[in-house]
A and B are shown apart, each in its own frame.
Chain A
Amino acid sequence: MNAIGPHIAGMAIAFGVLISIALTMYWMLHPPTTVAERAAKVVQRDLEELIGSIIVVFSEEIHSDHMMALAVRLAHRERAVLLAAYVMQVPLTLPIDAEMEIERRQALGTLANAEAIARAADVEISTEIIPARSVSQGVVDLAKRRAAHLIILGAYREGKYSGAPLGREIEQITAMAQCDVLIGVQGRKGRMLTPPTGPQARARA
């Protein structure tokens, strides 16, 4: 058995071989991207950011229960933070923290439904009841406070054209919101946005 004695030149060459092969492989596996690939990456990143935090809004005038399933799927796939918020309008004649039993009960019921949909899909959800003088202002303030990337709103076709077919509050939110707003309107024969408690869902059940 001969004695093994490392030499400084040999050690340097050994590291040289190792580093040059590693660098060559790294360079090869990272080819320049095309314009289309770069654009796709930006869109993907924006999409991830877009749905990092989602707020589904409910109120007396905003009926988003049929949008919950969509919101849950979106949150599940992108691991987004999901918040279901019921904005309770408090009349100017009452203090902002006034007890409004009937409205509060309705809000709790709506949010319980939303929570059940999310739990069924194994998605974490938080709920909140927001008292506000104006629903639209309450929603916009909430979105700002929670740094929401997407506000999801639902509207039923109420029938007559009144200048604001989706409802005045929804119109105002879309005008004031800093983040993106997704409004879902159920088609006359649509099935995807069927409200879980609506007449079509009952008929199917």
Chain B
Amino acid sequence: MAANVSVQNSASERPSLRRAVTPWGSFSWGYSDVGADIFVGLGLVLGAAAGASNVAFLFAGIVYVCIGLAYTELAATYPVAGGGQYFVFRGLGDIFGFIAGWSVLLDFTIDIVLFAWSCVDYLSKLLPVIAFTQHPWTHFFFVFGLIAGLAVLNIVGVRESSAFNELVSGLDIVSETTILFFGFFFAFHPETLVHTMQTAWPTSFQLMNGVSLAIISFVGLESISQAAQETQRPASVIPRTSISLILTILIFALAYSNLALGMQTATPIPHDAHGHVQPLWHYLGNEENNGAAVAVLASLVPYWGILAAFYVPVLGAILLLISSNSGVFGSSRIAYAMSGTQLLPSIFQRVHPRYRTPAISIAFFCGVAVLELIFAALPSLHPAFKALYARLFRGEDGITFLGDLYAFGAAASYSLVFLALIALRFKDPQSPRRFKMPLNIPLTYRGGRVEFPVTAVIGFLGIASILSFVMITHQLGRIAGPTWIVFGVLGYLLYRARKQLPVLRSQPHDWRKAQINILQQAGELDMMDEYLANVKALDERKAKERTVT
């Protein structure tokens, strides 16, 4: 992965990023982030939504498709590093840009710890000595060691190569397709699926909980947008890679959840702790297996499972580690960009004199990740905390707490992205959009033609409902998530007041100049010409109106 970072609205002064990311590179950049989510999400959703896990994934999947379409439109229109944070910053102004960025930063810090945690869970299928349920302290130190290791590697400037990312993503797609093919071909029975859905249908509360956790299987589209500035022909390539990523992840999530509910295993499933027979979905969703559900499911697939039992934990662990690492450099990237636009203090832009990396950003956000790890691991490390958590937070376990926060951060930032998309359709209709979300209503706004995106409204309602599900069903998430936002906003207000910058309003930005620079640097010269023509037409129309009045 490229290590370069950039500041958004000083495009003309910054060194441009090399456009070396190919369509496969762009896809694998996103896939290494989103693709890992199902490894974490499957077990959590099965544990929460039981026989309606496929419905939970379907609901979250529909919302995710809307999110994906919104990101695709925005990333193809504004191919800059920064992703959702930049879109909101541009569409809704400074303070909302900060809130979106701060939510994304929460997600990235959770990304670091959640995927490191799951990475150890997957490895524990081959090395039982690090299993969370049997050896919580060993598990804790392994996760801590991974986070510290990633922080050090990122500070000294060692990153995984794009080629390695592309290879792992390719292997994983082949592997998951093979697992699903063998699973459905030899062991799927629709009667079993119907029976499981009927007998294990959850309560509305559990279903809402499941939906709120299912959305974490789809978080990470951000990565494709962040790589937009380095992608070859972003306006043509990004829509393809984004839509392909959406489809691939959706197919995997729906297929895995239906397979888990409707598969008849070749080998008998072990009895639960009380000696009772347990169905497959319950076995995958219990505390012992929910961190590594895909590996367990793969090992139970007829024929291929014998092989999958050995390589899926390793492949899953590698993918999860890459995803964890994307949280480390993603957080430093976003913080660097936000610092450049005076949404965060300039300390986050400070580069290490020797290693030329944003060392303070990396250390700070890895530190936050460690705090989250401690908070998540405490109940398993000491019985006193277990009792306290049971009293205060309905006894949510560590990985569920991380999942809650992940869902909260994603839902909060995605909600703002939908609003930003709608706002930008009105504020910036001059920017050529090579891809548009479907279902648009043409309107006249301030004398010009704009298109109102109905799909964005549907997506916003969907993600807002998921956000409300998070708030309703997660005791910890409803406190920790908003607390993160409130403290962030307070810090932002103090910082802006101290710097004598507009506190609640936005600073003046020359978006026209910025857009021309963006398109020029993206190599989208046709789009730049179109933009200039649109802007010229707008100016002429305004001049005409002034003359008339």
Which residue numbers of A lie inside 8 Å of B, CB to CB?
A: 1-2, 4-7, 9-11, 13-15, 17-18, 20-21, 24-25, 27-29, 31-32, 34-35
**Are B267's CB and A10's CB within 8 A?**
no
With contact pairs A2-B267, A14-B184, A21-B251 given, residues A7 and B177 touching in the complex (Cβ less than 8 Å): no
**Are B236's CB and A34's CB within 8 A?**
yes
Give chain A nearest CB distance to B329 CB in angstroms. 24
With contact pairs A4-B266, A7-B189, A14-B180 given, residues A21 and B240 touching in the complex (Cβ less than 8 Å): no
Separation of A17 and B267 alpha carbons in the complex (Å): 24
**Are A9's CB and B187's CB within 8 A?**
no
Q: Which of B190, B251, B264 contacts A20 (CB 8 A)?
A: B251
Which chain A residues border B236 with CB–CB below 8 Å? 31-32, 34
**Are A29's CB and B188's CB within 8 A?**
no
Contact with A along B233-250 (1 / 0, CB 8 A): 100110011011001100
**Are B268's CB and A9's CB within 8 A?**
no
Which chain A residues border B187 with CB–CB below 8 Å? 4, 6, 10
**Are B184's CB and A21's CB within 8 A?**
no
CB interface residues, B 171-221, toward A, < 8 Å: 173, 177, 180-190
- Identify whether the interface residues of A are mostly helix, strand, loop, or mixed: helix
Give chain B nearest CB distance to A5 CB in angstroms. 8
With contact pairs A25-B173, A25-B244 given, residues A10 and B180 touching in the complex (Cβ less than 8 Å): no
Which chain A residues border B233 with CB–CB below 8 Å? 31, 34
Separation of A13 and B233 alpha carbons in the complex (Å): 35
**Are A14's CB and B181's CB within 8 A?**
yes
Q: Which of B183, B184, B244, B267 contacts A27 (CB 8 A)?
A: B244
With contact pairs A2-B265, A7-B188 given, residues A17 and B23 touching in the complex (Cβ less than 8 Å): no
User: Is residue B492 within 8 Å, beta carbon to beta carbon, of the partner chain?
Assistant: no
Of chain A, the residue at the smallest CB distance from B254 is A17
CB pairs A–B below 8 angstroms (15 shown):
A1-B268, A2-B265, A4-B186, A4-B266, A10-B184, A10-B185, A10-B188, A10-B190, A13-B188, A14-B180, A18-B177, A18-B181, A27-B240, A28-B23, A31-B236
**Are A2's CB and B266's CB within 8 A?**
yes
Beyond A18-B181, A34-B236, 6 additional pairs, beta carbon < 8 A = A14-B181, A17-B184, A17-B251, A28-B24, A32-B236, A34-B526
**Are B244's CB and A24's CB within 8 A?**
yes
Which chain A residues border B188 with CB–CB below 8 Å? 7, 9-10, 13-14
Separation of A31 and B434 alpha carbons in the complex (Å): 13
**Are A31's CB and B240's CB within 8 A?**
yes
Of chain A, the residue at the smallest CB distance from B185 is A14
User: Is residue B302 within 8 Å, beta carbon to beta carbon, of the partner chain?
Assistant: yes
The list of the 7 closest CB pairs from A to B, nearest first, reads A10-B188, A28-B244, A14-B184, A14-B185, A13-B184, A10-B184, A14-B181
Give chain A nearest CB distance to B194 CB in angstroms. 11
Give chain B nearest CB distance to A172 CB in angstroms. 45
CB interface residues, B 247-284, toward A, < 8 Å: 247-248, 251, 255, 258, 264-268
User: Is residue B27 within 8 Å, beta carbon to beta carbon, of the partner chain?
Assistant: yes
Give chain A nearest CB distance to B114 CB in angstroms. 26
Give chain A nearest CB distance to B496 CB in angstroms. 42
Give chain A nearest CB distance to B419 CB in angstroms. 29
Separation of A18 and B189 alpha carbons in the complex (Å): 18
With contact pairs A2-B268, A24-B248 given, residues A9 and B190 touching in the complex (Cβ less than 8 Å): yes
Which chain B residues border A9 with CB–CB below 8 Å? 188-190
Give chain B nearest CB distance to A191 CB in angstroms. 36
Give chain A nearest CB distance to B497 CB in angstroms. 47
Q: Which of A6, A11, A17 contacts B180 (CB 8 A)?
A: A17
Residue among B24, B243, B255 with the highest chain A CB neighbour number at 10 A = B255
Separation of A87 and B526 alpha carbons in the complex (Å): 52
Separation of A1 and B264 alpha carbons in the complex (Å): 11
Separation of A4 and B177 alpha carbons in the complex (Å): 20
Q: Which of B24, B177, B180, B185 contacts A29 (CB 8 A)?
A: B24
Give chain B nearest CB distance to A11 CB in angstroms. 5
Separation of A28 and B27 alpha carbons in the complex (Å): 9
Residue among B180, B184, B241 with the highest chain A CB neighbour number at 10 A = B184
Separation of A24 and B68 alpha carbons in the complex (Å): 15
**Are B185's CB and A11's CB within 8 A?**
yes
Separation of A30 and B82 alpha carbons in the complex (Å): 26
Give chain B nearest CB distance to A56 CB in angstroms. 40
Separation of A9 and B240 alpha carbons in the complex (Å): 30
Residue among A10, A11, A15, A27 with the highest chain B CB neighbour number at 10 A = A10
Give chain B nearest CB distance to A88 CB in angstroms. 55
**Are A20's CB and B247's CB within 8 A?**
yes
Q: Which of A4, A11, A18, A35 contacts B302 (CB 8 A)?
A: A4
Q: Which of B173, B186, B255 contacts A6 (CB 8 A)?
A: B186
**Are B184's CB and A11's CB within 8 A?**
yes
Give chain A nearest CB distance to B434 CB in angstroms. 10
With contact pairs A17-B180, A20-B251, A31-B233 given, residues A6 and B185 touching in the complex (Cβ less than 8 Å): yes
Of chain A, the residue at the smallest CB distance from B26 is A28
Separation of A14 and B244 alpha carbons in the complex (Å): 19
Separation of A1 and B236 alpha carbons in the complex (Å): 51
Give chain A nearest CB distance to B384 CB in angstroms. 44
Give chain B nearest CB distance to A139 CB in angstroms. 45
Of chain B, the residue at the smallest CB distance from A33 is B236
Give chain B nearest CB distance to A104 CB in angstroms. 58
